[in-house]
A and B are shown apart, each in its own frame.
Chain A
Amino acid sequence: MATLRELTHREDRLEGGHRLCAGCGASIAVRQILLGAGEDPVIAGCATSCLEVSTSLYPYSSWKVPFIHSAFENSSVTIAGVEAAFNGLKRAGKIPADKKIKFVAFGGDGGTYDIGLQALSGTMERGHDMVYVCYDNGAYMNTGIQRSSATPRGAWATTAEVGSAQQGKTEKRKDLTSIIAAHGVPYVAQASISHWKDLTTKAEKAFAVEGSAFLNVLATCPRGWRSAYNKAVEHAKLGVQTGYWPLFEVENGEWSLSSPSKALVKTGLKPVEEFLKPQGRFRHLLKPENAELLAEVQADVDAYWKYLLGRCGE
């Protein structure tokens, strides 16, 4: 695995000067993941999203690698098509048989958990040799903070409002990482922008395996989280420390907690409140009258943690 010194000497494949907000977790995720691809050429795709509209504004492109965007629900299968072309052209003798190219598709949680789930499932099932990255900021941030199936229970969103009859999203979030793991692909991992070594190492592994790999990366959205833009990494770290976003991987069916989360088995998780507190989208949850709802959010985290420890044999 690459050292920090080595990583600092690798070329940044997403150029600065893009139009993402200050403190946006998406560009941090993309840059760290592309560092994990090493020296091999990479072709990247992206679903319609903040990331896409902010990095591909015609006639500019922030991508120093070949890049394709086609629509919202299909970055997985669009890149699968690119990978298919690579195989077909190799077989035709138009590309040398020993040529190596890495393929990666990015999507937000809306484009992955919701509208893109079918295309992603098909892509993973067929086993295209590529990496799919979901940058999960827990809502449709690009269109204005609407709830997605990645939005946690109790979070305010513009389609899960807070009022006298409702206190934000009433359902718990979907466990997409387990769903993709159930596809039996060789590498699946959950990571966070707050743990660069864990993330770049997971990206290296994802790019290295033959077949499909999936990374689900917690990426702060200060605009949608209603949080301080200069604390983006810190807030993601709280997601890990409270067990809201455990770091783990599934390598060829073997589940294991990654070291930042594994350490929490002994020390215990921080209360989820610490993750919620700095985020305006949870402000209502901390009111005394919502104590019961807050307990439910904590119960969601505890249940998932328990499930995960079981899967990881802890």
Chain B
Amino acid sequence: MPVKHTTVATTGNSMVADAMRQCAPDVVAAYPITPQTTIVEEFARYVAQGRVHTEYVTTESEHSAMSACIGASAAGARVITATCGPGLAMMWEMLYIASGMRLPIVMLNTNRTLSAPINIHCDHSDVMGARDAGWILLFAETAQEAYDNTIMSVRIAEDPDVLLPVMSCLDGFITTHSIGRAQTMDDESVKSFVGDYTPQNALLDVENPVSHGNFVFLGGPYIEFKRSQRIAMDRSKSVIERVGAEFSELSGRPFSLVETDMMEDAEVAIVVMGSSAGNVRHVARQMRAEGVKAGLVKVRCFRPFPATELVAALSGLKAVAVLDRSESFGAEGGPLFTETRSALYDLERRIPIVNYIYGLGGSDVRLDLIKSVFTDLSDIAGGGVVPEGLNYLGAR
């Protein structure tokens, strides 16, 4: 059966809720939080309409949402949830437990900043706080990518070589609430792509009782468990690539851990994640019209970190800028910057690399700000001085 694509004009959250429905989770346990709410609302409608078999658990907090997801996943169910910002922060304890128990939970995160001051808008502080929690982290630029990532996440998480939770991130309001053009696939194609979930060591297999979440005493194999998570995370990279390639064939849309645009002959480039990649692409084109050989390097998968792919994309450049939509107060720079620079350390030639913190709490990512970054890069490439420290883009 050929895939039937339907073009729709809708929001990122609506695309994601539709993808959730198509992936047919056995359990969704979630708590509403702006700007994730329309995902759980739309899914609640699917439940009310009888369009899903899902047991929908409306918990009293995000901590309980993730706890219920953990119980359900250990029981042997396919589990999807959604949250963001303070909700993700409240789950923090349980994020490590989900990955430590090797539970293939899929979570949509509609990137929202953290208080204080209280702010409901986009940045990546929430997910970056969870970057070491043992979850695979995918980022979407558009509603289309959010849809695609959701479907792929289920396959990646449940792969027997992985069995790790996956967080699929889309930018709060910018991607979640903007209406744009996107394509959905027919239910049958998605169903056959994600396949049936065959759980291992399910609690509900009462004839073969197992214990989950056991106590490892001092001297016990704690560090060995952690190493096994590291091995699974490393192994997930090739699974993500394989699943992505398979999905691309079905969708006709590209997927790679690191996606590049105009990089064939680029001399300078911006590394970025999420919705701002669109702004960067647009400005890069303008810069090219002005004679600057500008390019875009978009990171679509932050965990496992695609170091090799970034090195391949950046190694020939004269100057690189990394845009971080989150702070890592007191660190050498934002998380994407420090890891990208670390990845470039082994190169023979040192590439000038600069860091910009931008768009915190939904502050506007104007085209002229992106242009100023390319202008800086162009100056550096022409022998100009590399600015020291990190730069707050657009801060008044």
Contacts and interface: CB of A to CB of B under 8 A. Distances in A.
A36 interface: no
Nearest to A119: B64
A44 B92 CA distance: 24
A16 interface: no
Interface string A64-76: 1111111101100
Contact-residue size bin, chain B (C-beta under 8 Å from the other chain): 35 or more
Contacts of B27: 81, 84-85, 88
A85 B60 contact: no
Interface stretch (A52-60, A233-241, A303-311): A52-60
A142 to B, nearest CB: 11
B205 interface: yes
B13 interface: no
A85 B77 contact: yes
Contact of B70 (A81, A88, A94): A81
A69 B203 CA distance: 12
Given A67-B212, A71-B94, A77 B64 contact: yes
Contact of A58 (B67, B205, B214): B214
Interface residues of A, number: 46
Interface stretch (B137-145, B183-191, B216-224, B273-281): B216-224
Interface in B40-73: 53-55, 57-61, 63-64, 67-73
A87 B24 CA distance: 14
B26 A56 contact: no
A131 interface: no
**Which of B24, B55, B70, B220 is the most central at the interface, judged by chain A CB atoms within 10 Å of its CB?**
B55
Contacts of B75: 43, 81-82, 85-86, 89
A275 B130 CA distance: 49
B368 to A, nearest CB: 47
Contact of B204 (A79, A101, A126): A101
Contacts of B25: 88
B57 A66 contact: no
A81 B211 contact: no
A158 interface: no
Contacts of B70: 70, 78, 81
B212 to A, nearest CB: 4
Given A70-B67, A74-B64, A94-B26, 8 more contacts: A56-B214, A61-B211, A64-B209, A66-B210, A67-B203, A80-B68, A81-B75, A86-B75
